[in-house]
Amino acid sequence: MKEKIIVWVKRYAPAEVFGLTGTLIGGIVTNIAFHNTFLTALGSTLGEDIGYYGTIIVRDILALQKKHKRLTLSLCIKLFRNLIIEFGFSEYLDGFIIRPAAMYYFPLLLHNLYTGLIVGKFAADVTFYIPTIISYELRNKFLGE
């Protein structure tokens, strides 16, 4: 189990750093522009997605290039398939329901935008990672990396 945790941390921790950065930038910029809690929640969710998935996609592409020396259409299709399997279900729930709700309610409950966005982000991450890690492991078991 220790080895699995190390693999998960190596895969997801760098993306989390950029996801948190995107959460704060997206939420703060949207809040400054619109002064609307609902739009701020959507802006922080979008910022998280850009930072998080941008990191995952870039790292996966670089790993493919290193392994295969050149990207082909079939490798790109396989990469896209793997991302959909790994994140599809989680992102559907997270991106449309859980994360926007957390980004909306935590700043209100804590009476602080910055703290609320950070707490909301990590609260949403809990429900995001359970199905994501299960999907990642099943994908690797049945389809390989």
pLDDT of residue 144: 78
pLDDT per residue rounded down to tens, the chain (145 residues): 999 999 999 999 999 999 999 999 999 999 999 999 999 999 999 999 999 999 999 999 999 999 998 899 999 999 999 999 999 999 999 999 999 999 999 999 999 999 999 999 999 999 999 999 999 999 999 997 6
Q: How many residues does the chain have?
A: 145
Structural domain range at position 7: 2-143
SS3 of residue 50 by DSSP: helix
Q: Alpha-carbon distance 46 to 24, whole Å? A: 10
Name 101's Cβ contacts closer than 8 Å, sequence gap at least 6: 41
Q: Alpha-carbon distance 92 to 137, whole Å? A: 19
Q: How many domains does the chain have?
A: 1
**Tokens, residue 13:** 């921790």
Query: By the 8 A CB rule, do 54 and 44 touch?
Result: no
Query: By the 8 A CB rule, do 66 and 83 touch?
Result: no
pLDDT of residue 58: 97
SS3 of residue 84 by DSSP: helix
pLDDT of residue 145: 65
Predicted TM-score (pTM) of the model is 0.94
